Amino acid sequence: MPPRDRLEPIFQVEGLDAIYGTKPAIKDVSLEIYKNLVTALIGPSGCGKSTFIRCFNRMNDLIPSFKQTGTIRYHGQDICASNIDPVAVRRNIGMVFQRPNPFPKSIYDNVAWGCRVLGMKDDLDERVERALTQAALWDEVKDRLKASGLSLSGGQQQRLCIARAIAVEPDVVLMDEPASALDPIATQAIEQLMHSLKSEYTFVIVTHNMQQAARVADMTAFFSISRGAEGERYGELIEYDATEKIFTRPADKRTEDYVTGRFG
Amino acid sequence: MSAHGLSGPRVRLDGLPRRQRVNRAMEALAWLAAALGVTILGVVVWSVASKGWSQLNLDLLTKPPIQFSLTNAPQGLSNAFAGTLVIVGLATAMALPVGILVAVYLNEFAPPSIRTGVGLVIDVLAGVPAIVVGIFVFVLLVVGHGQSAIKGAFALAILMLPFVARTTIEVLALVPNAQREASLGLGVPHWRTTLSIVLPRAAGGIVTGTVLAVARVAGETAPLLFTSSIVGTQTSWDPTHALQTIPVAIFELSESPDPKDHARAWAAGFILLLFILFASLTARWLAGRSARKIAGR
């Protein structure tokens, strides 16, 4: 990894607060996500890392009680500004969810549907094959593309969802605990594909598996739960640095306690 | 030796005999309630079928009734069958799109406050007695303009609307949010997600709800007394005419002094019952098929 001042930031987050109704989820988060790197968000359950990753493609817009303040600049533009269409944001910033959620369509159509709807109709077969190959699924499904996406195993379904996300050629792929429902072999396949695809995409991954963060991520952000003046719990960014540094020489005691397993 | 087949120094059976008695009593009550329901249905079906079965013939479906008939010429109720098809068909055509759009708006687009408010209005509308809807349409459309099948269909559509909307809301709420997120996360607009991902997944339930609503209004009599014909003996498919329907025909024939009319009323009732049975079975079949399709089997 080149030194940090030579990296190109793709997201610049400044003073981000997120609130569900009256319950704060995260407070005052500022960090930069760099292009063509894998950035991991780690931390205990309830620290707001999933809320945070969903801010990047405005997925929280779907929750009526959700509010956020602060800015997230994507290539310099504030994606939360009122003139920005969340559909345009999501078009460029794809997402893979915690549980595999293929459509009740064929394997082929799961990947092709998004391309068709978004007008990428040229060489659809090639596009589907490329996406499935990149997602390390092609060899397993090439003979049964017409079978339902739901007939696949959990790990295959998640790779299908990754293929679906990258088939529309996003700029960034957000992954919200993509391997939490998968066995170690499927997890390894997903980690490998992130590694081999990061020259083309920027990945942000939420995980509560520290070994996974250590294996796949170039940069790691550690979130933790803090208590406010009135005892309310909220998520806070404790430390953000190169993965190697977070795991070997963390600057904050809380990070050290967490990554060494002394978190309690 | 314990009566419960289990004994030992650490085995505890506090209050178990009492719980077993209560359990048996509750099971018996539930069984009786179920038996009562099935018995009542059985008696109704059997009495209609036994009286209606012998009167079933092709003339009933193909020949109109003859008013003030003194001959023994075969009479039918083709006017009522045609009228029911036209009126129920028109009512479905009116209620189905509106009901589905109301449900889609409330479940997919409306803020929570509107969803609750309009949802309540729909439930109240579902509880409005059919005769009140009949009077409403009578005053609104019939007085001064005359009766017609369209006006009858409009009254039935008002009765169908809350059923279609409510069942559609229920099945839309069952579509997993993960499906919406998957589509929106690709950068697909909200409307397209609703149209291509959410609605197809709910289609089976919507069809089931619609078929049940059709079955329900096909038996409605009260609103049609005011709004479509109670005398028309012509067999017509023209919705601008006042058309006779099966339930209204049953009502009139059962008021008649002629036992032959009573027989025809039973036969018409039997056909209506068969129609509703057929509609319910179709609805179940469609729901099962769509569930299998979504499960990818």
Inter-chain CB proximity A117 and B192 less than 8 Å: yes
| Range from A46-55, A149-158, B133-142 carrying the lowest mean pLDDT | B133-142
Write down the mean pLDDT value for chain B.
85
The pLDDT score that the predictor gives to residue B145 is 78
Q: What is the pLDDT of residue B1?
A: 44
**In the predicted structure, residue A40 carries a pLDDT above the cut 80:** yes
Structure ipTM: 0.89
User: Which of B184, B198, B199 has the highest number of chain A CBs within 10 A, making it the mutation to test binding with A?
Assistant: B184
Please give the residue of chain A at the shortest CA–CA distance from B183: A114
Can you give the residue ranges of every domain in chain B? 76-294
Name the residue among A89, A101, A148 with its Cβ closest to that of B178.
A101
- Span B76-294: which CATH code? 1.10.3720.10
- Tens of pLDDT along A152-194? 998 899 999 999 999 999 999 999 999 887 888 888 888 988 9
Q: Do A150 and B295 touch (CB under 8 A)?
A: yes
What is the rounded distance in angstroms from the CA atom of residue A222 to the CA atom of residue A253?
12
Identify which has the larger pLDDT, A17 or B251: A17
CATH at residue A171 = 3.40.50.300
pLDDT at residue B158 greater than cutoff 80: yes
Q: Chain A residue with minimal CA distance to B192?
A: A117
Work out the minimum CA distance from A160 to partner chain B, whole angstroms: 12
Domain presence at residue A149: yes
For residue B115, the surrounding DSSP H or E stretch is: helix B112-126
**A146 inside domain:** yes
On the CB side of B9, CA atoms within 13 Å amount to: 0
Say if residue A52's pLDDT is above 70: yes
Nearest CA in chain A to B200: A104
- What does the CA dihedral B83, B85, B87, B92 come to, rounded to 10 degrees? 180
Q: What is the mean pLDDT of residues B222-243?
A: 73
Angle (deg, nearest 10), helices B246-255 and B259-294 = 160
Beta-sheet pairing, A172-176 with A93-96: parallel
User: Which candidate, B137, B140, B93, places its Cα nearest to that of B228?
Assistant: B137
pLDDT digit string, tens, across residues A232-242 = 889 999 999 99
Q: What's the mean pLDDT in A234-253?
A: 92
Mean predicted lDDT score pLDDT of chain A: 90
Q: What pLDDT shows up at residue B183? A: 95
Whether residues B187 and A101 touch (CB distance < 8 A) is answered with no
Task: Collapse the DSSP code of A17 into the 3-class scheme (helix H, G, I; strand E, B; otherwise coil) and give the result.
Answer: strand
Of A101, A118, A151, the CB nearest to B187: A118
Nearest CA in chain B to A158: B182
Which of A59, A164, A170 has the CB atom closest to B181's CB atom? A59
Count of CB atoms situated within 10 Å of the CB of B285: 12
pLDDT digits (tens, 9 = 90+) for B28-56: 999 999 999 999 999 999 998 888 888 77
Q: Quick check: is A45 in a domain?
A: yes
Identify the residue among A108, A117, A162, A171 best suited for mutation to test binding to B, counting B beta carbons within 10 A and taking the highest.
A117
Q: Which residues of A touch B196 (CB under 8 A)?
A: 113, 117
| Residue-number span of the structural domain to which A14 is assigned | 4-259
Q: Number of structural domains, chain A? A: 1
Assigned domain for A264 exists: no
* B13 vs B174: which has the higher pLDDT: B174
